Structure 1
């Protein structure tokens, strides 16, 4: 059995009922300014930004790239495709009856 998809209307109703239950249980809703919840001490949290470490030196791999290029260029060129073989084709008369077979290239 396939579960029916929940619509936006159903999701809104569910959220509204959860908010109503929260308020009925003496819960309070605190209003905050837009974007304020993402701030730490009034500033954006930079702990998740990955620019804290110093730049690392890269290992030169020119000899590896040269070897790959040499292998790529040294491959034998592809062989031309084999000549097409003749095909056996049936010849029909005016009434659609087969008359004979003919080899066609």
Structure 2
């Protein structure tokens, strides 16, 4: 069983119908000035702002960072793979009709 999600158009239609029902039941929509709903007594409501608390002390972790850096530097670097000489490969030479004529070794 899959859950069907509402489209934006369906959500808009639902909100419109709720507004119409509210108005039909003698509800009244009050117009307010832009930005006025965020104000209390003409000022911003500072009780909801996140910078009210005093600054908290941070726990120093320098010794932990130093230990991690030490472990990183203690690791041996990965060995550089040696380059092996390539083996010669056998290549087929074909004629104009696609028939093999001879084999040639290429480096």
* TM-score interval for Structure 1 and Structure 2 normalised by the shorter chain: 0.5 to 0.7
Q: Secondary structure at the match of 2:80?
A: coil
**Counterpart-to-counterpart distance in 2, 1:89 and 1:26:** 92
Relative to structure 1, the CA distance from residue 7 to residue 80 in structure 2 (aligned partners, 3 Å threshold; closer, same or farther) is: same
Q: Deviations over 1:28-51 (max 9, x none)?
A: 111111111122333222223222
Relative to structure 1, the CA distance from residue 59 to residue 24 in structure 2 (aligned partners, 3 Å threshold; closer, same or farther) is: closer
Contact 2:93 2:104 in 1 (8 A): no
TM-score by length of 2: 0.63
- Aligned-pair Cα RMSD in Å: 3.4
Matched, 1:79 2:79: yes
Q: Secondary structure at the match of 1:91?
A: strand
Matched, 1:67 2:70: no
Residue 20 (structure 1) aligns with: 20
Residue 58 (structure 2) aligns with: 58
**Counterpart-to-counterpart distance in 1, 2:78 and 2:35:** 61
Matched, 1:93 2:89: no
Q: Secondary structure at the match of 1:69?
A: helix
Which ranges in structure 1 are unaligned for 5 or more consecutive residues? none
**Counterpart-to-counterpart distance in 1, 2:35 and 2:83:** 70
Which ranges in structure 2 are unaligned for 5 or more consecutive residues? none
Most deviating of 75-84 and 29-38: 75-84
- How many aligned positions are there? 102
TM-score by length of 1: 0.64
